[in-house]
Amino acid sequence: MAAHDIESIEVDRTKHVFIEFADGVTARFDLAPLRLACPCAECNSRRQQGRSVSVLAETKPDEITITEAAMQGAWGLNLDWSDGHSTGIYAFEKLRGWIDDRLVASHVTRPDPDLETNR
């Protein structure tokens, strides 16, 4: 089992994406930071040039929503956004890296290692 394997995923189109990883780590990504971290080539290029990735997510974060969500095989999640963007595939390995390295704001819980050793 890899750290980025997922147990479950929940998409609340107006609030967050919640992922439970197979090792018990859970993460809730609020939508605006997730949209701003879009991993697609276009958004990466915009960030490198110092340009806005999503004016809506930056100026009105409560108004950014997910219009469609679909699994991309067993390795990622494709999200369509209310600002019209739809080319980013959020690989579970990348999402896990973001939370482990604290690169994208998220609410994370990790299993208590003491509970694991007492089993």
pLDDT digits (tens, 9 = 90+) for 48-98: 999 999 988 898 999 999 999 999 999 999 999 999 999 989 999 999 999
Structure tokens at 50: 């110092």
Q: What is the pTM of this model?
A: 0.86
> What pLDDT score was predicted for residue 4?
83
Q: Is residue 14 a contact partner of residue 34, using CB atoms and an 8 Å limit?
A: no
> What pLDDT score was predicted for residue 44?
93
Check whether domain 6-113 has CATH 3.30.2020.30, yes or no:
yes
Report how far residue 41's alpha carbon sits from residue 107's, in angstroms, rounded to the nearest whole number: 26
The single residue listed with the structure tokens 């290692």 is: 113
Write the DSSP string, 83-116.
Answer: TS----EEEHHHHHHHHHTT-S--EEE---HHHH
